[in-house]
């Protein structure tokens, strides 16, 4: 019961990107995943990639309003990693039937599908942002990612006032939207 409560607290912390919670989950699960990847044709880099991918999937899962985890964190992380790694091996043509199963798994196919859709969206946004050029990119990143206010952004970028900065930001935003939707709608 106590362990369960603890897991709930960790997930809550993860949802808020609390660094202590992230560290705990990372520490408690990474070595297991690394062992699995290393034992199945993978490298240290593969292990880190796959594990972080699974962490992102879990984090984004906690963001949904209807979020519930029906199993232990380590089961979920391991299941996602295992599935992701099998896919990766298949893509690389290194697929082997003998995949060790060192832990219990749960079906995570649906979650992985959602995760891959988000991966695609993230890549589109990333590409769109990067093709904007400066100072648009930094301005938008400052406003939407770093959540700075217009005053601070105006100062940082050297605009004479916040209104000018705001105007510029909207111009950039329109360009970004155009770039994003061009890609996004093709993807659909």
The distance of closest approach from Cβ of residue 1 to another protein in the complex, given in angstroms and rounded to an integer, is 27
Q: What are phi and psi of 100, to 5 degrees?
A: -65, 140
Taking the C-alpha atoms of residue 153 and residue 165, their distance in angstroms, rounded to an integer, is 7
**174 scored as a contact of another protein (CB under 8 A):** yes
Give whichever of 14 and 108 is closer to another protein, judged by the CB atom.
Answer: 14
Helix (H, G, I), strand (E, B) or coil at 77: helix
Report the site for another protein in 11-70 (rule: CB under 8 A): 17, 19, 22-23, 26-27, 30-31, 34, 44, 47-48, 52, 55-56, 59-60, 63
Give whichever of 22 and 152 is closer to another protein, judged by the CB atom.
Answer: 22
Q: What is the dihedral of CA 121, 125, 128, 134, to 10 degrees?
A: -170
Q: Do the beta carbons of residue 55 and residue 77 sit within 8 Å?
A: yes
Size of interface with another protein, in residues (CB under 8 A) = 36
Taking the C-alpha atoms of residue 118 and residue 161, their distance in angstroms, rounded to an integer, is 37
| Binding-residue pattern over the window 124 to 153 for another protein, x denoting contact by CB under 8 A | -xx--x--------------xx--------
Give the binding range for another protein (CB under 8 A) out of 2-10, 65-73, 93-101, 162-170: 162-170
The encoded tokens of residue 29 equal 């699960």
Report the site for another protein in 62-121 (rule: CB under 8 A): 63, 118, 121
Taking the C-alpha atoms of residue 118 and residue 185, their distance in angstroms, rounded to an integer, is 14
Taking the C-alpha atoms of residue 52 and residue 31, their distance in angstroms, rounded to an integer, is 12
DSSP 155-177: HHHT-SSHHHHHHHHHHHHHHHH
Give whichever of 2 and 27 is closer to another protein, judged by the CB atom.
Answer: 27
Residues that bind another protein (CB under 8 A): 17, 19, 22-23, 26-27, 30-31, 34, 44, 47-48, 52, 55-56, 59-60, 63, 118, 121-122, 125-126, 129, 144-145, 166-167, 170-171, 173-174, 177, 180-181, 184
């Amino acid at each position: 019961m106590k362990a369960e409560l603890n897991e709930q607290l960790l997930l809550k912390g993860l949802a808020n990107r609390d660094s202590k919670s992230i560290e705990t989950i990372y520490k408690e699960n990474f070595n297991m995943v690394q062992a699995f990847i290393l034992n199945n044709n993978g490298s240290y880099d593969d292990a880190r990639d796959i594990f972080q991918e699974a962490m992102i999937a879990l984090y984004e899962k906690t963001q949904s309003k209807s979020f519930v985890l029906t199993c232990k964190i380590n089961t979920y992380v391991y299941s996602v990693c295992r599935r992701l790694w099998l896919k990766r091996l298949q893509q690389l043509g290194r697929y082997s039937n003998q995949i060790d199963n060192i832990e219990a798994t749960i079906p995570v196919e649906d979650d992985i599908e959602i995760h891959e859709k988000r991966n695609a969206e993230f890549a589109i946004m990333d590409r769109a942002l990067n093709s904007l050029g400066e100072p648009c990119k930094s301005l938008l990143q400052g406003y939407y990612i770093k959540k700075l206010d217009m005053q601070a952004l105006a100062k940082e970028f050297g605009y004479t006032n916040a209104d000018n900065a705001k105007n510029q930001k909207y111009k950039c935003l329109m360009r970004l939207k155009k770039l994003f939707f061009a890609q996004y709608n093709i993807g659909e």
